[in-house]
Amino acid sequence: MKKLALLLAVVAVVSMAAYAIAAPKEVVYEVKMGNVTFNHEAHLATGDCVSCHHTGDQVSCKDCHTKTSKPNSKDAFHGQCIDCHKEKGAGPVKCTECHIR
Ligand code: HEC
Ligand code: HEC
Ligand code: HEC
Ligand code: HEC
């Protein structure tokens, strides 16, 4: 019995680790016209998780938004990032303010 309880406890810890992916501090996108740095940690103050992770799953946007999806990844990122910066009147909206060479 003790062994089974221990085994179940180990399984529980391992499966928690598999699902709870830690939020990144920073994400860097490598783009030809200039790399984009997204400070995830600083952006937590701009809204709740679901305002950006709009499906409720805190997974990579690229799991769904690919080069060929609708909206595609470029439009999904530009749409969310630039729209909010415009709306708040803060944060970069010009190409070369985000894409830095
Ligand atoms: C301002 C928008 C925004 C907010 C608010 C936000 N996120 Fe994110 N999050 C992102 C973006 C953008 C990425 C990078 C995804 C990508 O590159 O595909 C990301 C990535 C992640 C990842 C890594 C996903 C992966 O598998 O690569 C996790 C986990 C995550 N966020 C959790 C959270 C949690 C938890 C919260 C709320 C406390 C939160 N996020 C709030 C925009 C946001
Ligand atoms: C589980 C799949 C999935 C994930 C993950 C996902 N999206 Fe989406 N997204 C969709 C689908 C499907 C649509 C089109 C339908 C809709 O508007 O809800 C969409 C629409 C959008 C739109 C257009 C919304 C509008 O009002 O026109 C933007 C912008 C967007 N996503 C950005 C993002 C960003 C940025 C992330 C990551 C932080 C992300 N999405 C993560 C599936 C996803
Ligand atoms: C929900 C609103 C919101 C979304 C979505 C959002 N931002 Fe921002 N962002 C802001 C605000 C507000 C600021 C200004 C913060 C300040 O000045 O203190 C900012 C500032 C920035 C800055 C300059 C400061 C820094 O962190 O280096 C960059 C770069 C930036 N955002 C990139 C992005 C990118 C890339 C995305 C999309 C992946 C994105 N943001 C999505 C609200 C948002
Ligand atoms: C708020 C920040 C921001 C601004 C402003 C911005 N971009 Fe982007 N851009 C991004 C992000 C984030 C991505 C997604 C990178 C990825 O998918 O890896 C991206 C992707 C792209 C891509 C696609 C790269 C690829 O490999 O799919 C091109 C091209 C691009 N941007 C050009 C532009 C141009 C031109 C402008 C000005 C009209 C602009 N961007 C303004 C953040 C920004």
| Pocket-testing residue among 38, 84, 85, 99, ligand 4, by greatest number of atoms within 8 A of Cβ | 99
Enter the tokens of residue 72: 């595609």
* pLDDT tier for residue 18 given thresholds of 50, 70 and 90: very low
**Residue 12: band (very low, low, confident or very high) from pLDDT cuts 50, 70, 90:** very low
pLDDT, one tens digit per residue, over 37-78 is 999 999 999 999 999 999 999 999 999 999 999 999 999 999
Q: Is the pLDDT of residue 4 over 70?
A: no
pLDDT in tens, 81-94: 999 999 999 999 99
* Rounded distance from Cα 9 to ligand 1 centre (Å): 29
State the pLDDT at residue 20. 60
pLDDT of 16 reads 45
Say how many Å lie between the CA of residue 24 and the centre of ligand 2: 19
Determine the pLDDT at residue 21.
77
Let me know: does 38 contact 27? Beta carbons within 8 Å.
Answer: yes
> What is the reported pLDDT for 14?
46
d(CA 85, CA 59): 22
Which residues does ligand 2 sit against, CB inside 6 Å? 52-55, 57, 59, 61, 63-65, 71, 76-77, 79-80
26 CA to centre of ligand 1 in angstroms: 10
Pocket test for ligand 4, best of 64, 78, 80, 101 (most atoms within 8 A of CB): 78
Q: Which residue has the tokens 């501090």?
A: 25
